[in-house]
Structure 1
Amino acid sequence: MKVSIERSALLKAMSRAQSVVERRNTIPILANVLIEAEGDTISFRATDLDIEVIDKSPAKVSQAGATTVGAHTLHEIVRKLPDGALVDLVDDGTMGRLDVRAGRSHFSLATLPREDFPIMASAEYDCNFAAKAPVLRRLFDKAKFAISTEETRYYLNGVFMHAADGANGPALRCVATDGHRLARIDAPLPDGAANVPGVIVPRKTVNELRKLLDDDDADIAVSVSETKIRFATPEVTLTSKVIDGSFPDYSRVIPQNNTKRLEVDAAEFAQAVDRVSTVSSERSRAVKLLLEEDRLTLSVNAPDAGAADEELAVAYSDERLEVGFNAKYLLEIAGQVDRENAVFLFNSSGDPTLMREGNDDTAVYVVMPMRV
């Protein structure tokens, strides 16, 4: 194999590959990236056996071939090369080495046989549809903060994607929850997605997918089966197993009869929560909300650190209410609001609270209160 490729294209491909590859591997080949060169294209394939990413880049291929080399090592080398460098990758297939040359720099890297590299089995997909990158970005970005990190409840360690009846008609819906807060995000159902099976997309896959969604004009081809999901652009294909489990009936925890309505400037609210929570104990980070007519008082009382309170002018006309929340949860939910105002709907100090962006029902958040 003999290939010349621009440093910027190689760095982009290796950045995607090395983020999929786990740093600690008991199987040596899984630490490597599979490099395949043919025609005028070079492809880089990386996997951890649950996720596989393939990145194709244009290159000058003098001699077709394939090899595998340490993903993190090659990424670090390319990252440290000067901008604009032309990188030569040469493997004559006899020495078990890949030569990497750029300008006066030369590296000789150990390789492993390409035959040992595991290729993720292709699946028959039940549903295929296309969605614009900004649509998928909104769905997953707004939901992922609520993904559980509790490994024992593995079925909550991802985003549940499915077709649903939304407030504005059929919707592609993403839901995540950790039992303390919940995010439910809707987008208009794309053509061909009506029969999409409900799947739980793992946290790592959600994070890797985000890297495909930066181009606002990109169309993402989505393929879904009961066991796998694939997101593809002309250059990059991301395939992942989905979590084998049943997502709970989230609709039961979304309150329907919360009538006490608070409307507040989302940015001002987030800043105030952040300020008063500075003195809270790290363990609980509890902040108390006192709602009175057109006034919200945020307060924290941490005996070992001190106390703080701050008053905000708000729109509220119901009875006086005191309710406590984990400050971190409030900040994360307030951080999802793209519009100016956040609307909180309360029932009592012990019931779940609903939050949405103005009157927009396509993004709904639920947060459980705590005693303060």
Structure 2
Amino acid sequence: MQAVFKKEDITKALGVTLGVVEKKQTLPILANVLLEVNESSFHLTATDLESEVRTSGPLESVSSEGRTTTSAKKLNDLCRLIPDGSSIEIKLSGDKIQLKTPTGKYSLATLPSDDFPIFENQESGEQLNVNSKDLRKIFSTTSFAMGNQDWRHYLNGLYLELKDGFLTGVATDAHRLAINTFEVSSGSSFSGIVPRKSVNEMTKFLADADGEVSLLITDSSIELNTGNITFKSKLIDGNYPDFNQVIPSGDSFVLEVDVKELSESLSRVSVLSSDKYRGIRLNVSDGSLMVSANNPEEEAGEETLGVNYSGENIDIAFNVNYLQEILSHQEGNVCNIKFFGSDKSCLMLPPNADFPKYVVMPLLI
């Protein structure tokens, strides 16, 4: 294997793989990237056994085809530090690859490409073509509510459901719930739980995608194709809880509040909240919202905001981090908060819209 790469082409491709490369190195080869050279292009593949990403790029010239694996981090660090616009010759020589630039020579160890684990191609499954911006919005507006190393493994991911012509994303850590959905042109149906790490990688790839992307989903895996990037991931094995049962219903009182004003008030008052519980109290009455907090050191803070509200007085407490994360994902300037009582979960959503919707459980403080 011998070929000449443009620095920008190989560093861009390596950047795609770094998030997937296994950092704990349970197997040495998982720290490597598979480099394949053919007639006019190169391909890079990385895996952590749970997910796999494959991308490609053009070559300046090819002397001989071939494939090998080498450290993704070292190859990336080296290529990234080579001057912009440089050509890099990479040649496989024995159990090393030799990198050559106009001013330097470098040698990196390799491992046999035959030992590199590759995901099997999916022969069947539901394929769905969707707008990349819509899919990214599903992920970005819900994924922050996923569980993180929860013992209930099915919460450590994002639930995707295609049903009745709508693609819906749901995430929860049992303290808050996030749901968003959009209409798609499909009569098919499927559901599955995408692992946390895979959701984060897919969100990153979708940020650089334009136009339509394709999803291929089977009972045990999901595949995202954005053009020159193909990402595959196993799904979490388990049954996702019935999230519709968590969404509060019945009579409610609606608080209409300025997103920026409430967020800034929460930031100031929460400085004096308990470090352990991060509790903040909301006292809502006609036209008024009082935000207050205190801590074990007997420090306290409160602010009063003018709001649009008419209904019964509500005295309720929440983890301020949960409220702030939801407010940061509001696209408009105004957010509606529906209260169903001082001891029940609240529902947060944009005015005159049903999605994205967020459920937050109250704190008992």
TM-score clears 0.5 = yes
Q: Which moved more, 1:77-86 or 1:357-366?
A: 77-86
* Higher mean C-alpha displacement, 269-278 vs 173-182: 269-278
Percent identity between matched residues is 35
d(CA) in 2 for partners of 1:254, 1:88: 58
AA paired with 1:285? Answer: R
* Mapped partners of 1:270, 1:216: distance in 2: 31
Q: Are the equivalent residues in 1 in contact too, given 2:163–2:188 (CA < 8 A)?
A: no
Runs of 5+ in structure 1 lacking a partner?
none
Residue of structure 2 equivalent to 1:346: 339
Describe the superposition over 1:278-311 as per-residue Cα deviations: whole angstroms up to 9, x where unpaired.
1112111100001011111100011316111111
TM-superposed deviation, 1:364: 0.7
CA offsets 1:202-226 (integer angstroms, 9 cap, x no match): 1100111122212463321110000
- Correspondence for 1:34: 34
Q: Kindly indicate whether residue 288 of structure 2 is the aligned counterpart of residue 295 of structure 1.
A: yes
Kindly report which structure 2 residues correspond to 1:143-222, keeping only aligned pairs within 5 A, or say none: 143-164=142-163, 170-189=165-184, 191-192=185-186, 194-215=187-208, 217-222=210-215
Where does 1:20-59 land on structure 2 (aligned, <5 Å)? 20-59=20-59
Q: CA RMSD in A?
A: 1.4
Task: Return the letter of the residue paired with 2:14.
Answer: M
Determine the C-alpha separation between the residues in 2 that align with 1:358 and 1:216: 30
Structure 2's unaligned 5+ residue stretches are none
Q: 1:258 Cα deviation (Å)? A: 4.5
- Distance, in Å, in 2 between the alignment partners of 1:118 and 1:305 is 57
Distance in 2 between residues matched to 1:7 and 1:258, nearest whole Å: 61
In the alignment, what sits opposite 1:84? 85
Letter in 2 for 1:41: S
In structure 2, what residue type is equivalent to 1:127?
E
Measured in 1, the distance between the counterparts of 2:250 and 2:149 equals: 30
Q: How does 1:58-137 map to 2 (within 5 A)?
A: 58-60=58-60, 61-92=62-93, 95-137=94-136
Q: In 1, distance between residues paired with 2:188 and 2:79? A: 43
Partners of 1:5 and 1:151 lie apart in 2 by: 43
* Superposition misfits of 4+ residues, deviation over 3 angstroms: none
TM-score norm. by structure 1 comes to 0.95
SS at match of 2:356: strand
Structure 2 CA distance, aligned partners of 1:85 and 1:138? Answer: 37
What is the SS of the residue equivalent to 1:348?
coil
Amino acid of the residue matched to residue 101 of structure 1? Answer: K
Using the size of structure 2 for normalisation, the TM-score is 0.96
Query: 1: distance between equivalents of 2:209 and 2:217?
Result: 22
Equivalent pairs, count: 364
Aligned to 2:307: 314
CA drift at 1:156: 0.7
Q: Deviations over 1:22-50 (max 9, x none)?
A: 22213111111100010211000000111
Structure 1 residue 175: Cα displacement: 0.2
Deviations, residues 158-178 of structure 1 (Å, cap 9, x unaligned): 11001245xxxx311000001
Return the offset for 1:363: 0.8
**CA–CA distance in structure 2, aligned partners of residues 9 and 114 of structure 1:** 22
